[in-house]
Structure 1
């Protein structure tokens, strides 16, 4: 075995061990969610799916899931509408202060989320919007737009701008060029940014704890309340469903990336 092959084997072996170390705690959650007992324990005393049925029967879980889904979906849409044009402008535009504008937009990425939560509560409390979905959507959007901006700018770094000029020379306007040329080729960055924006909003708990009430609590806050008050196996069932949802989103991102690569090869040929 030559040195290059040995390095390749060691790299894949290390990656497999690291992946197993990260996923092992997640796999333990699955049998814990199927326990017949009333507490989280492993190994389980028996098997039952009653905790999944409890999620459907308890209106608090359904309401919190719906709130998180609506908020995260709206935040993802806002991130796309604001982040994609901003990324194109910052990546291709030539104007003074580009670095300063990018630093200001990306500031929420480095700001402690506790400070964001306290400041948000003080601001929206004065407007009477605490407990309103709108307040959570606005703050989550401010946290998600920088992620969309960063991923789209990374995709634009390797974009052939001659394709835009070719589209314009063939009579396509800016809007048609955006949807027919630019977006299909930067779709991996858009998909990655959308997924991360959705996850940021869906999993966020600190800001939601400050701005949500018992009637508008999100799923992460519901989980946190359950862990603090009574550790029920229903929490493990929710965790399994969230893992499954994350797997679907990652699979979708992979499919979009493969599709974009095929489009790039087709354009080059």
Structure 2
């Protein structure tokens, strides 16, 4: 968007200064990633730029740390655990969060504010408190140090994201469509899958992706609840930093950054599609 022709000198100065300020803030946030990714190709086992890397000498770059990642049994096990836990907890969180959002969207729902506050409380309560509470509760029911226990814990953390995104999608939902469906003889199930679900599906998928990212990146709950067999990628990275400093961690982090960018791009595409379906944006 260009500067308006009627803008005065101060407005023009602010126009460019604001964009420069936003660029500096963005650089401040992205600089650690920009530094980390090239280091994952370092041929030396150091966390610093070598002379060859600074002079762009090909001898200073290597894929050895990515090869170490995919040839390591512990890393591959942690990747497998993260995928299993992430997918399973996302499915549970998406199912529960969507049901909760549908209930909260109904006008006759009592105590909406209280229920909503309880549902999103895992986002507000400090994670260390939630982890400690889950540890004592799951220990008493035999779910500590088990894969189902970690999955249920991550599902509890991911459900609020699904509730928020689906609830935001339902804000612009035209409920006259469901009433028209009922008047034509369709049951509640047919109305949901044929009318409601196609319109709120972008919000459901967006919430599920946020829940998956939350599970994939979570470490505090894993430290409390997971055993040796349930080590995830963040847990393995934490152990690697404490026990054995290796640029393999940088290779894993670079892959996770690329994976996160892909997921967030998908979320943004789905958000725009949802707005178009609900008539909230042009085209």
Fold-level similarity (TM above 0.5): yes
Please state if 1:244 is matched with 2:251: no
SS at match of 2:49: coil
Contact 1:67 1:217 (8 Å CA) reproduced: yes
Shift of 1:10: 4.4
Contact 1:91 1:153 (8 Å CA) reproduced: yes
Contact 1:187 1:257 (8 Å CA) reproduced: no
Alignment of 1:98-117 (within 5 A): 98-117=112-131
Distance 1:16 1:177, change over 3 A: farther
Long gaps (5+) in structure 2: 53-59
Shift of 1:219: 0.8
With the length of structure 2 as denominator, give the TM-score of the two structures: 0.86
Alignment of 1:110-259 (within 5 A): 110-259=124-273
The alignment's C-alpha RMSD in Å is: 2.3
Task: Count how many residue pairs are aligned between Structure 1 and Structure 2.
Answer: 268
Shift of 1:160: 1.7
C-alpha offsets along residues 191-219 of structure 1, whole Å, 9 cap, x if unaligned?
Answer: 33212111111111011001112221111
SS at match of 2:172: coil
Shift of 1:27: 1.4
1:18 to 22, 25, 28: 25
Please state if 1:30 is matched with 2:27: no
Contact 1:188 1:257 (8 Å CA) reproduced: yes
Contact 2:206 2:271 (8 Å CA) reproduced: no
Shift of 1:113: 1.2
Runs of 4 or more off by more than 6 Å in structure 1?
none
Long gaps (5+) in structure 1: none
C-alpha offsets along residues 133-167 of structure 1, whole Å, 9 cap, x if unaligned?
Answer: 11111111111112211221122122222222233
Shift of 1:181: 2.3
Distance 1:257 1:243, change over 3 A: same
Shift of 1:79: 1.2
SS at match of 1:15: helix
Please state if 1:40 is matched with 2:50: no
| Comparing 71-80 and 2-11, the one that deviates more | 2-11
SS at match of 1:130: coil
